[in-house]
């Protein structure tokens, strides 16, 4: 009876000890030696400087509440089916996007790896060992025996000081930054494609212009030859007309170099070999769409590069906490249980059981300032990421203002250039009349023709620059992205992602 009472008391004592340790662990697990994170401040202007400037009507408009819902495939605002098709191919086949998507999956896996440290590690190490004891230990003959062992070992390090939590947080923030980087790569590729596309279309417009100019110059040369044959013209005029025609033909032919390069650049962006891709010629006719701006503060939520920079700040903050946990002792709870015998017949019997359980503690007593230097390193890294974040914000506002100013100025320039073309056309007509009536030499006609062609080429380039500026403005505003698309901690901790389940 006394023996049974002793067993009950011992069992109760063990339960009390385990319960007490559990309470201590729960209380200590709430400790986190890392600094609390807060998004760093950044200079945000109350309004864009270019908004409200003269001569910008129709180029952009204030954002409306419904704009956030309608911002999707931003390139569709240009109403160009060919561009839409190319952008869709880019989203599927661009290799830079594919590489960034793989980087996101790596970062997600690192989050799941870090979270495994919350749980115990259990291992099994079965073995069958044949051994011989030396006869030098007092035995006349060495003893040989076989040991059969089937141990299971479990170890767990309670997260007393937040080491695991800071590791998980650091990897989570890194994964979120990686996801934002992916969207930044995607947006950059999309805008590069649209830019190359409109620059190629500008080359097509120049080609169309020069083709028609070559035809006009050929007619002028034929006219001068006829005049020479009839005795009313001079060979000098024929030579001048020939020189002008050949020079313009050379310019016309040279356009093929740059157009081919743009075509090859588009092929690379959509993941196709340059040799297998051809884009039919079509002159640039598009006009910039109205672009919703929003207020400057919204830019912090709409730019993926700003989001990535901010998540890098959060990651650096978590790394400071991780470095500080090195000052505190590491406590490991370990346990072993299993079966061990020297006979295979007794191996899997209850008397062959073995077990051990107990905590262990490790603390660094002297490291010559290593931990202090490590904390200082991560604090400096944090300061660096804050500066990078603020620089990214400032750069974003600069890019928006640059492209707003470009749209405003180019709108005025195109109007002025169109007036210049009209005047150059009248001048050419007057020069041709005076030449045909014998009042002026043919050189005056060539001068007027050259002036008109130069003005027309400039007009095409100005329109191309305005289209590029509108694309760059959309990119500077973040395209169709916003910070709500950053995956949450729960999404990053999921065992499988949508990308992993794709065939």
pLDDT of the chain, 503 residues: tens digit per residue: 333 333 433 443 344 344 444 544 444 445 777 789 889 998 888 888 887 654 443 344 433 333 333 346 899 999 999 999 999 999 999 999 999 999 999 999 999 999 999 999 999 999 888 887 766 656 555 678 788 898 999 999 998 898 999 999 999 999 999 999 999 999 999 999 999 999 999 999 999 999 999 999 999 889 889 888 888 878 888 999 999 999 999 999 999 999 999 999 999 999 999 999 999 999 998 899 988 888 888 888 889 999 999 999 999 999 999 999 999 999 999 999 888 888 888 888 888 888 899 899 888 899 899 999 999 999 999 999 999 999 999 999 999 999 999 999 999 999 999 999 999 999 999 999 998 888 889 899 999 999 999 999 999 999 999 999 999 999 999 987 777 778 887 777 775 444 444 44
Element (H, E) at 371: helix 370-436
3-state SS class at 320: helix
Structural domain includes residue 363: no
Q: What is the 3-state secondary structure (H, E, C) of 109-167?
A: HHHHHHHHHHCCEEEECCEEEEEEECHHHCCCCCEEEEEEEEEEEEEECCCCCCHHHHH
- The structure tokens 């600094």 sit at 35
pLDDT at 13: 37
pLDDT at position 284: 92
Q: Is residue 341 part of a domain?
A: no
Angle at which helix 81-93 crosses helix 163-229, to 10 degrees, equals 140
Q: What is the total count of domains within the chain? A: 1
Strands 60-61 and 291-292: parallel
Whole-number pLDDT of residue 293: 82
Mean pLDDT of the chain: 85
The Cα 190–Cα 87 span in angstroms is 6
User: 388 Cβ partners below 8 Å, 6+ apart?
Assistant: 309, 312
Residues 451 and 420: beta-carbon distance below 8 Å: no
Flag whether 140 is in a domain. no
Give a yes or no: residue 20 inside a domain.
no
The answer to whether position 258 is within a domain reads: yes
Domain of 67: which CATH number? 1.20.1600.10
Structure tokens that stand for 479 in this block: 């395209």
- The total of other beta-carbon atoms located within 10 Å of residue 351's CB is 7
Specify the pLDDT at position 315: 94
Q: Is residue 332 part of a domain?
A: no
Domain span including residue 213: 29-130+160-327+370-501
Dihedral pair phi/psi, residue 13, rounded to 5°: -65, -40
Q: How many residues does the structure list for the chain?
A: 503
Tokens of residue 16, six digits: 């009390």
Sign of the dihedral through C-alpha 398, 403, 407, 413: positive
Return the structure tokens found at 280: 């039919």
* Residue 8 in domain: no
Q: Nearest to residue 457, comparing CAs of 264, 203, 274, 238?
A: 203
Residue 345 lies in a domain: no
């Amino acid at each position: 009876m006394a023996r049974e009472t002793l067993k009950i008391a011992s069992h109760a004592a063990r339960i009390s000890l385990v319960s007490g340790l559990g309470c201590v662990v729960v209380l200590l697990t709430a400790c986190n030696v890392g600094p609390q994170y807060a998004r760093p401040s950044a200079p945000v202007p109350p309004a864009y400087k270019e908004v409200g400037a003269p001569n910008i009507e129709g180029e952009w408009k204030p954002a409306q509440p419904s704009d956030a819902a309608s911002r999707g495939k931003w390139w569709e605002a240009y109403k160009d089916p060919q561009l839409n098709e190319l952008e869709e191919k880019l989203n599927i086949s661009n290799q830079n996007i594919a590489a960034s998507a793989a980087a996101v999956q790596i970062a997600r896996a690192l989050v799941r790896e870090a979270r495994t440290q919350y749980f115990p590690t259990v291992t099994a190490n079965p073995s069958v060992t044949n051994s011989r004891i030396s006869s030098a230990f007092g035995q006349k003959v060495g003893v040989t025996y076989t040991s059969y062992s089937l141990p299971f070992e479990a170890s767990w390090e309670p997260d007393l000081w937040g080491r695991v939590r800071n590791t998980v947080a650091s990897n989570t923030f890194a994964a979120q930054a990686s996801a934002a980087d992916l969207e930044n790569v995607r947006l950059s590729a999309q805008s590069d494609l649209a830019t190359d596309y409109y620059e190629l279309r500008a080359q097509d417009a120049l080609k169309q212009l020069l083709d028609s100019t070559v035809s006009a110059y050929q007619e002028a040369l034929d006219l001068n030859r006829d005049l020479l044959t009839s005795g009313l013209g001079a060979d000098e005029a024929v030579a001048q007309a020939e020189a002008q025609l050949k020079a313009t033909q050379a310019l016309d032919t040279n356009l093929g170099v740059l157009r081919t390069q743009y075509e090859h650049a588009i092929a690379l962006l959509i993941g196709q070999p340059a040799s297998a891709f051809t884009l039919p010629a079509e002159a640039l006719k598009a006009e910039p769409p109205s672009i919703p701006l929003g207020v400057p503060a919204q830019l912090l939520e709409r730019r993926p590069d700003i989001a990535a920079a901010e998540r890098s700040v959060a990651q650096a903050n978590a790394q400071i906490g991780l470095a500080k946990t090195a000052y505190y002792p590491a406590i490991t709870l370990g346990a072993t249980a299993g079966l061990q015998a020297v006979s295979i017949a007794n191996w899997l019997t209850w008397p062959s059981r073995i077990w051990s359980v107990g905590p262990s503690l490790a603390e660094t007593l002297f490291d010559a300032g290593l931990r202090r230097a490590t904390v200082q390193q991560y604090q400096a890294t944090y300061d660096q990421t804050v500066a990078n974040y603020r620089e990214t914000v400032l750069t974003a506002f600069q890019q928006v203002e640059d492209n707003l100013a470009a749209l405003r100025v180019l709108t005025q320039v195109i109007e002025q250039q169109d007036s210049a073309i009209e005047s150059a056309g009248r001048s050419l007509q007057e020069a041709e009349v005076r030449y045909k009536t014998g009042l002026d030499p043919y050189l005056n006609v060539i001068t007027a023709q050259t002036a008109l062609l130069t003005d027309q080429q400039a007009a095409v380039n100005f329109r191309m620059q305005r289209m590029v500026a509108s694309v760059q403005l959309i990119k500077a505003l973040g395209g169709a992205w916003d910070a709500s698309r950053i995956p949450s901690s729960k999404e990053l901790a999921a065992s499988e992602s949508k990308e992993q389940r794709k065939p």
